[in-house]
Structure 1
Amino acid sequence: MVTIKDIGRKIGMSHATVSRALNNSPLVNPETFELVQRTAKEMGYFPDNAARALRGSASNIVGFVLPDINNHFYSRIASVVGRHVADRGLQLVLATSDEDPAREERHLVELQRARARAIVITPTSALTKLSLDILRAIPTTQMVRRNPALATDLIAADDGQGVAQAVRHLLSRGHQRIAYIGGGPETLSTGSERLQGYLSAMQEAGVAAHTHYDLGPPQPEFGRAATERLLRDPDRPEAIVLGSSQLTIGFLDAVRAAGLSVPEDLSFTGYDDPDWFAHWGAGITTVGLPIDRIASTVAALASGQKADAAAQNAVQIETDAQGQRDFRFACALIERGTVRRI
């Protein structure tokens, strides 16, 4: 591990001056501050936050690193977590990665410099080495999805159960040719879990022969392109399960362009429940996510509460070989007007 003395030796500076620069002391001139900060980053230095905490220097900041604040789920959960954290006398600092590991790293470096007492993160699929070092040094909880390189507890929805519930609802209405459009499982754990929920439900119902899925970035553009491909299929599906609210936007664009009516020509279910879902047509049948439970749990963990107590309402708890746990909360189907009986 790189130390303050290592940095001082490299740039010919006393370790006391290096320490002051790393701690943003006003006694350090701007040129020295910039040199020390740049050298520390180049050498891969990160502070011993555990030692800082013992000295009472950890701040009241809780870092909250999300991929996309424009996504309804993340904006809603940030609002709820912010309230819970404030109730505990802490300050939430929000940052967005836009699924960019380099940007994610920059945010984590700043949170480290701010002496964040805890971090809640929905990680990218390719955390940098520096990001991993920082997250391992600060109490961290992963939220929504897991990066396997980071051994921490995870707080998430039971995504597989949620998608399976949507498939079973369509099956109960007489649909068999049910397709799925979702995020790619090769990079994100949520994509893999939702796909598995779809496949399992189709297999259990004995209609695996009708399995048809299209996976890609969970964005409107992919949702539209995937829907267009499914609609061109000679064995066009009777219903489509969508794996995110952003994919639903693209799906609706494609259906409208094709001149089809929902649910008369095609049934579908969404995922998550942004406000507009209730007001589109007769309302969109969707999988509602346990936002309040996830938010209250991560806020409790970030404020120092033990995981077992914070996640006592979890429906599923799994422990891996390293002792890290997945706490899952149940999703709930919201029935509206986009599924017909056949």
Structure 2
Amino acid sequence: MARVSGRVTIAQIARAARAAQSTVSCVLNGKFKESGASAERIAQIQAIARRLNYRPSAAARAMRTGRCDAIGLVLSTRPGRISPFLDLWLGLMDDLHARGLSLTVARLPDDELTDDAALPRLMREWAVDGLLIDYVADAPPHFIDLLRDQHIPTVWLNHRQDFDAAFPDDHHGARLATEHLIALGHRRIAWHSDNAGPHYSHGERLAGYTVAMTAAGLTPRAHLGDHWASPAERLPVARRLLKSDDRPTAVLCYGAQDALPLYVAALERGWRVPRDLSLITFHREPFGTHGIDLTTAIIPAAAMGRAAVDLLLAKLAEAGQAQTAMALPYTLHAGATCAPPLATVVRS
């Protein structure tokens, strides 16, 4: 049987199968019982549809169901305002694919996001049922108002709020890492971040560390930068931190960009990690480089993508009802940069 040129219709399949269009429609939409056809007849119709290269019409399905079976992902164009996690995108895309849903992605500047007419036009042109928003800090207030006032189903990624959001529980991650160091016997544990960024994780990680230290009766030691430090600035800062008379025996770092200079500064002083200094960092996967296997609080990036899809689909199924946000817990990769402290710290 030759394939039909152009888009194949149910009417063409019905003629080829010598069956009623209603029967073919039921079969191709999985309504086998309603079709009234035998198993053999169903298999025959499906085989003919495959030979003719039949593809369901997305427009027709949308008209019939009121759903486009597609999701839009909006990214900010501002530096430092989107999530830097490959695993987030993979988790999100894999979950949508498994559900038979498509994804449309665009990076949009603030002037478009705050245009009263732009969002409804975007929803029409994209033909999507709802939006995932990756704008992790300082989103324009008018953009947020437009999403709410125009009743656009929305879930935020990597953005801490009470409803319609999926984000890592950074408070939990910092507590988990700090409690690990305390359990090893450390008492002089420092928090170190050379970066002053707008993302909620900066405050939440510091808060989680502080809670764990206070609960153990220990004094928090926060070393915070007041700007986004350049690579050239980080090593001198690390040297000063380790040179103090009451220097820490362990340091919890905001990111690998903070931990690696401390590792180098420790080596410069003739120390060994973790014998003389324990280090923990945060990263989307166990962080390793040049043979260094850092103990890592694992950011649940892939789980965040899957959770965002779950929330958005639940919101769509419940006519736009706000969904309680999902704070994703951390896990800890043991790595090779944590050990009990020396009984006596040699000061040099």
Same fold (TM over 0.5): yes
Question: Quick one: distance in 2 between partners of 1:216 and 1:53?
Answer: 54
- 1:274 counterpart = 2:285: yes
Percent pairwise identity: 23
Contact residue 238 and residue 266 of structure 1 kept, 8 A? yes
Q: How much has 1:83 moved relative to structure 2?
A: 1.3
Contact residue 162 and residue 331 of structure 1 kept, 8 A? yes
- 285, 294, 301: which one aligns with 2:304: 294
Question: Quick one: distance in 2 between partners of 1:102 and 1:249?
Answer: 39
- 1:240 counterpart = 2:251: yes
Q: Cα RMSD between the aligned structures?
A: 4.2
Task: Kindly provide the amino acid, as one letter, of the partner of residue 86 in structure 1.
Answer: H
Contact residue 267 and residue 339 of structure 1 kept, 8 A? yes
- 1:126 counterpart = 2:138: yes
Q: How much has 1:124 moved relative to structure 2?
A: 4.1
Structure number with greater Rg is: 2
- Report matched runs for 1:124-273 at 5 Å: 124-136=136-148, 137=150, 138-146=152-160, 152-182=163-193, 187-208=198-219, 210-215=220-225, 221=231, 224=235, 226-252=237-263, 255=266, 260-273=271-284
Alignment partner of 1:337: what SS? coil
- Could you tell which deviates more after superposition, 230-239 or 247-256? 247-256
Question: Quick one: distance in 2 between partners of 1:297 and 1:211?
Answer: 34
Q: Deviations over 1:274-321 (max 9, x none)?
A: 35x24653521111233333222112233x225999xxxxxxxxxxxx
Question: Quick one: distance in 2 between partners of 1:301 and 1:202?
Answer: 34
Q: Relative to 1, partners in 2 of residues 1:235 and 1:273: Cα closer, same or farther, differing over 3 Å?
A: same
Q: How much has 1:84 moved relative to structure 2?
A: 1.0
Question: Quick one: distance in 1 between partners of 2:293 and 2:83?
Answer: 17
- 93, 114, 117: which one aligns with 2:129: 117
Contact residue 181 and residue 226 of structure 1 kept, 8 A? no
- 289, 314, 322: which one aligns with 1:305: 314
Aligned to 1:24: none
Question: Quick one: distance in 2 between partners of 1:143 and 1:238?
Answer: 36
Q: TM-score, normalised by structure 1?
A: 0.63
Aligned to 1:284: 294
Q: How much has 1:213 moved relative to structure 2?
A: 2.9
Aligned to 1:8: none
- 1:76 counterpart = 2:114: no
Q: Deviations over 1:173-231 (max 9, x none)?
A: 221111112487883322221111000011011111x5233145677737556534423
- 1:327 counterpart = 2:326: yes
Question: Quick one: distance in 1 between partners of 2:258 and 2:159?
Answer: 18
Q: How much has 1:323 moved relative to structure 2?
A: 6.9
Question: Quick one: distance in 1 between partners of 2:317 and 2:196?
Answer: 29
Contact residue 71 and residue 246 of structure 1 kept, 8 A? no
Contact residue 167 and residue 327 of structure 2 kept, 8 A? yes
Contact residue 82 and residue 134 of structure 2 kept, 8 A? no
Q: TM-score, normalised by structure 2?
A: 0.62
Q: Relative to 1, partners in 2 of residues 1:200 and 1:69: Cα closer, same or farther, differing over 3 Å?
A: closer
Question: Quick one: distance in 2 between partners of 1:215 and 1:63?
Answer: 33
Contact residue 136 and residue 157 of structure 2 kept, 8 A? no
Count, aligned residues: 270
Contact residue 303 and residue 328 of structure 2 kept, 8 A? yes
Q: Relative to 1, partners in 2 of residues 1:237 and 1:63: Cα closer, same or farther, differing over 3 Å?
A: same
Q: How much has 1:271 moved relative to structure 2?
A: 0.9
Q: Deviations over 1:87-138 (max 9, x none)?
A: 22333234568xx8669769x8685553543222243432224422443232
Contact residue 219 and residue 250 of structure 1 kept, 8 A? no
Aligned to 2:72: 62
Task: Kindly provide the amino acid, as one letter, of the partner of residue 207 in structure 1.
Answer: L
